[in-house]
Amino acid sequence: MNFDLTKIVRPKILNLKPYRCARDDFKEGILLDANENPHGPTLKEAESCAGLNRYPDPHQVEFKTKIADLRNTQSSFKSENLDPLTPENICLGVGSDESIDALIRACCVPGKEKILAMPPTYGMYSVCSDINDVGLVKVPLIVEDNSFQMDLPAVLDTLNKDPEIKLVFITSPGNPTAALVDPKSIEALASQWQSGIVVVDEAYIDFAVTGGSAAPLVNKYPNVAVLQTLSKSFGLAGVRLGLTFASKPLAKVLNAMKAPYNISSLASEIALRAMEPESIFIMKNSVQEVIEQRSRLLKDLTSLKHVADTQVGGLDANFIMVRILGPDNKPCNELAKVLYHKLASESKVVTRFRGLEYGCAGCLRITVGTKKENDYLVKEFAKTLDSLAR
């Protein structure tokens, strides 16, 4: 393929030398090189915080090795004998949001170049484009058939007409759509467009039962990057740890850009514990419970009067979308918004109103809770909706 990273990454970023920090060379011994406090944390009961007076490991190789091994076994493309992921394919960030921002800063010249997103989609692409003074081009997902899949011909046509677009963001599974984007369409885009980076945001990938991660594709297509997080399936949103899988040259660029100690020692320790076999077993069981409750929740809610009986989007995330219908049996934002507010303020059940998103008129996005939480949600949802629709 004709992909040339030097034509995508901004020259000053491409030539950036990473900050050389104290922990690059030595991590053990009498450490008098980083101006740390040798007396330990100045906290009450500091014994439980041993080591926090030292800067964290800037490279996190042990964690990167374990997450790479995990994703090598969970790919939609594992039958293709792709080169396995290694730590050199990974850059860590403070959540996926830092990863999104880093890719935009690396590849897009402010005030000139652009990114492409596919609404309805994750709102941070727009926020980061504004912060970085980068243009945002929108090519909507296919909503007419309720599939929320990528419109590949329209995307390619837009890219071919606009050489200033350097990044394409694909959320798969989608947010708020919960739909896994066909992996073959992602591969088709990567093979037909080499003028930028195809970024696949896989925050919810472990909840998709019809396909696995696209991460190993980065070793087949150097113009593909895949974002993941420990926030969802691993239940570690408070740790704020995200990952970018990329070709080794692109990962090297991203690692050169990042702050030297962006992942704290506490986050690193918890991330490593999450990679232990027992923890992976717990994660998979948790995901399975969500999948079972997800189907049950969708069935219960779509059986209610004034809720569309057809599935909105996919069943590939830890949430669902349902569409609220008005008296004319059409999607009704007004009723959906009042329902959302009453559930939150009176029933103390907080969902998300998504009716203003493209193709999502009348929709509420609902995270799948525990069985007890879902029981209460269904009861309050039915009662409140019935009272509002009278």
pLDDT tens figures, 93-106: 999 999 999 999 99
Q: Report residue 238's pLDDT band, with 50, 70 and 90 as the boundaries.
A: very high
Q: How far apart are CA 260 and CA 19, in angstroms?
A: 7
Percent of the chain with pLDDT over 70: 93
Q: Where are the alpha helices (DSSP H) in the chain?
A: 11-14, 61-72, 95-107, 124-131, 152-161, 183-192, 248-257, 265-274, 277-302, 333-345, 371-389
Q: Report residue 36's pLDDT band, with 50, 70 and 90 as the boundaries.
A: low
Per-residue pLDDT at 17: 84
Statement: residue 75 has pLDDT above 70: no
Q: What is the CATH number of domain 5-21+58-275?
A: 3.40.640.10
Residues 6+ apart with CB under 8 A from 273: 279
For the chain, the domains span 5-21+58-275, 280-389
Asked which of 107-121, 208-222, 311-325 is least confident by mean pLDDT, the reply is: 208-222
Per-residue pLDDT at 52: 83
Class of the CATH domain delimited by 280-389: alpha beta
Side chain identity, residue 345: S
Using N-to-C axis directions, what is the helix angle for 124-131 and 95-107, rounded to 10°?
Answer: 40
Neighbours of 292 (CB within 10 A): 12
Per-residue pLDDT at 8: 93
Contact 143, 151 (CB under 8 A): no
